[in-house]
């Protein structure tokens, strides 16, 4: 029987340049306030000196344009003085001076603009990759979402080319594996699945590599694409069934195929059994439907960049593309061994950048998993509705997709 080809929507251009530039400094996410100083703002600055004197304090420096003062206090008395000052009617507010740190202690986190975009920019030492400073907050507010939940134990199925056995940032997150490709090793010798899985659930705060969008999530690794990134409708349908049987709350499919009644039945069965399904919209740069994304019970995801603009390669069209997520220069995990990409052998050292709606889909899948985690009694319908309805509307993109660019923080509130 002739197989229908399912091509992984592989990155249009994967960097594979040696990533050698120095890691930025990092600090813990939870730190105590800075000792010996508090921030005070007065309703009328003319009252400041008198009020501070009542508490045995002198006036401090003004903080930029805020009109608040940074006041020196005895170490250990910060909280007590904040409470006392807050009760004074002349004080608008008093608050601790908090330590500002990197959001996670992962080496490459600052490159992950999709999770937190401060307008950061990078050029690698080889000069082969530049990420220009993007638009501040053109991101999915993952760091803010993690204050509510990191998705602990929520299972996300990645139906893809497998997940590498040798990447300490993502391999330990795999709780079940199955190989539907027939004959090949269960390892990822294509790279695509490892990259997608890392976007979902790479371990955060381990000093290493990247952070997943849902760092507490676990991965069901269903290998449906072979080591050339190709599979069949039947293997994909089997993978969907396996994912549901193994407790997947979300199923990510960064791949595309022509319509198939078998595939649609598998999709609908999974949805009816309680899984949210997410798929790439495609990299055609046009409005051509691909499946499973175009099925009604699958969220189809387009790609944006670090300016919240539609990626040039992204398939689009609000009639069937549901939502968008960053898909340009997305950092994630790769195998830590030689694998095949196209016709070439590639030696990867565990991390690289990827481009494609394949990278956008797992961000939405992870946001759905975070939403499940904060609403355990929800249904696929309510989770999908939450993720879609709370997306950030991006001016000028209304005809490209039905909802906005996903916002994980909104999805968990």
Region 155-174 residues binding Ca ion, contact defined as CB under 5 A: 169
- Binding Ca ion (rule: CB under 5 A), the pick from 139, 187, 305, 392 is 139
Q: Which stretch binds Ca ion (CB under 5 A): 24-32, 206-214, 257-265, 334-342?
A: 206-214
- Going 83 to 65 to 110 to 389, the CA torsion angle's sign is positive
Which single residue is written with the structure tokens 């997520």? 325
Rounded to the nearest 10 degrees, the angle between the axes of helix 261-272 and helix 233-245 is 10
Answer left, alpha or beta for residue 42, where phi above 0 means left and psi between -120 and 50 means alpha.
beta
Residue 137 as a binder of Ca ion (CB under 5 A): the answer is yes
Four-point Cα dihedral 64, 69, 72, 78, nearest 10:
-110
Binding-site size for Ca ion (CB under 5 A) equals 11
Quote the least distance from Cβ 319 to Ca ion, whole Å. Answer: 10
Q: Does 209 bind Ca ion (CB under 5 A)?
A: yes
Nearer to Ca ion, 187 or 388 (CB): 388
Residues 104-123 that bind Ca ion (CB under 5 A): 106
Active site (catalytic) residues: 160, 192, 358
Q: How far is the CB of 69 from Ca ion (least distance, A)?
A: 28
- Can residue 308 be called a binding residue for Ca ion (CB under 5 A)? no
Q: Which of 88, 206, 269, 382 binds Ca ion (CB under 5 A)?
A: 206
Closest residue to Ca ion, based on beta-carbon distance: 106
The residue among 131 and 298 lying less far from Ca ion, judged by its C-beta, is: 298
Strands 276-280 and 298-304 turn out to be parallel
φ, ψ (nearest 5 deg) of residue 370 = -60, -40
196 binds Ca ion (CB under 5 A): no
Residue 141 within binding range of Ca ion, rule CB under 5 A: yes
Which residue in the set 138, 178, 201, 300 belongs to the binding site for Ca ion (CB under 5 A)?
Answer: 300
Closest separation in Å from C-beta 134 to Ca ion: 11
Choose between 173 and 249: whose C-beta lies nearer to Ca ion. 173
Q: Spell out, one character per residue from 331 to 370, where the chain touches Ca ion: x when CB under 5 A holds, - when not.
A: ----------------------------------------
d(CA 214, CA 203): 9
DSSP states of 333-402: E--SSEEEETTEEEE--SEEEE-SHHHHHHHHHHHHHHHHHH-TT--HHHHHHHHHHTSBP-TT-TTT-S
Nearest residue (CB) to Ca ion, 52 versus 201: 201
**Binding to Ca ion, residues 19-48 (CB under 5 A):** none
CA dihedral 395, 400, 403, 409 (to 10 degrees): -70
DSSP state of 291: B
DSSP string, 219-251: EEEEE-B-TTSEE-HHHHHHHHHHHHHTT-SEE
x/- mask, Ca ion, residues 252-281, rule CB under 5 A, reads: ------------------------------
Dihedral over alpha carbons 73, 74, 79, 82 (to 10 degrees) = -30
Longest dimension (CA), the chain: 88
Residues that bind Ca ion (CB under 5 A): 106, 137, 139, 141, 169, 203, 206, 208-209, 298, 300
């Amino acid at each position: 029987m002739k197989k229908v080809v399912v091509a992984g929507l592989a990155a249009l251009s994967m960097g594979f340049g040696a990533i050698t530039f120095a890691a930025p400094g990092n600090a813990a996410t939870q730190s105590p306030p800075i000792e010996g100083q508090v921030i005070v703002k007065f309703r009328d600055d003319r009252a400041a000196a008198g009020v501070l004197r009542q508490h045995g304090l002198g006036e401090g420096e003004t903080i930029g344009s805020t009109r608040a003062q940074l006041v020196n206090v005895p170490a250990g008395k910060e909280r007590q003085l904040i409470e006392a000052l807050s009760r004074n009617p002349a004080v608008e507010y008093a608050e601790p001076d908090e330590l500002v740190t990197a959001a996670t202690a992962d080496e490459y986190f600052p490159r992950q603009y999709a999770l937190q975009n401060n307008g950061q920019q990078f050029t690698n030492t080889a000069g082969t990759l530049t990420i220009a400073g993007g638009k501040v907050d053109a991101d999915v507010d993952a760091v803010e979402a993690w204050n509510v939940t990191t998705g602990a134990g929520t299972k996300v199925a990645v139906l893809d080319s497998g997940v590498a056995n040798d990447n300490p940032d993502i391999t330990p997150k795999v709780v079940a594996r199955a190989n539907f490709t027939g004959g090949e090793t269960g390892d990822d010798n294509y790279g695509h699945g490892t990259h997608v899985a890392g976007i979902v659930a790479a371990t955060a705060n381990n000093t290493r590599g990247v952070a997943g969008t849902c760092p507490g999530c676990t991965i069901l690794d269903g290998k449906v694409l072979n080591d050339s990134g190709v599979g069949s409708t039947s293997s994909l349908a089997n993978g969907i069934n396996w994912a549901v049987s193994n407790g997947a709350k979300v199923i990510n499919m960064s791949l595309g195929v022509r319509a198939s009644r078998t595939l649609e039945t598998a999709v609908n069965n999974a949805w009816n059994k309680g899984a949210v399904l997410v798929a790439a919209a495609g990299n055609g740069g046009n409005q051509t439907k691909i499946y499973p994304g175009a099925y009604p019970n699958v969220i189809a995801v387009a790609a944006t960049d670090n300016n919240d603009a539609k990626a040039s390669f992204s398939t689009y069209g609000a009639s069937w593309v549901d939502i968008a997520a960053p898909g340009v220069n997305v950092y994630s995990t790769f195998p830590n061994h030689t694998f095949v990409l196209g016709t070439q052998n590639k030696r990867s050292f565990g991390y690289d950048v990827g481009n494609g709606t394949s990278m956008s889909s797992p961000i939405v899948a992870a946001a759905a998993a975070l939403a499940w985690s904060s609403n355990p009694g929800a249904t696929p319908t309510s989770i999908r509705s939450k993720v879609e309805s709370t997306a950030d509307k991006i001016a000028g993109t209304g005809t490209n997709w039905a909802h906005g660019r996903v916002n994980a923080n909104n999805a968990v509130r």
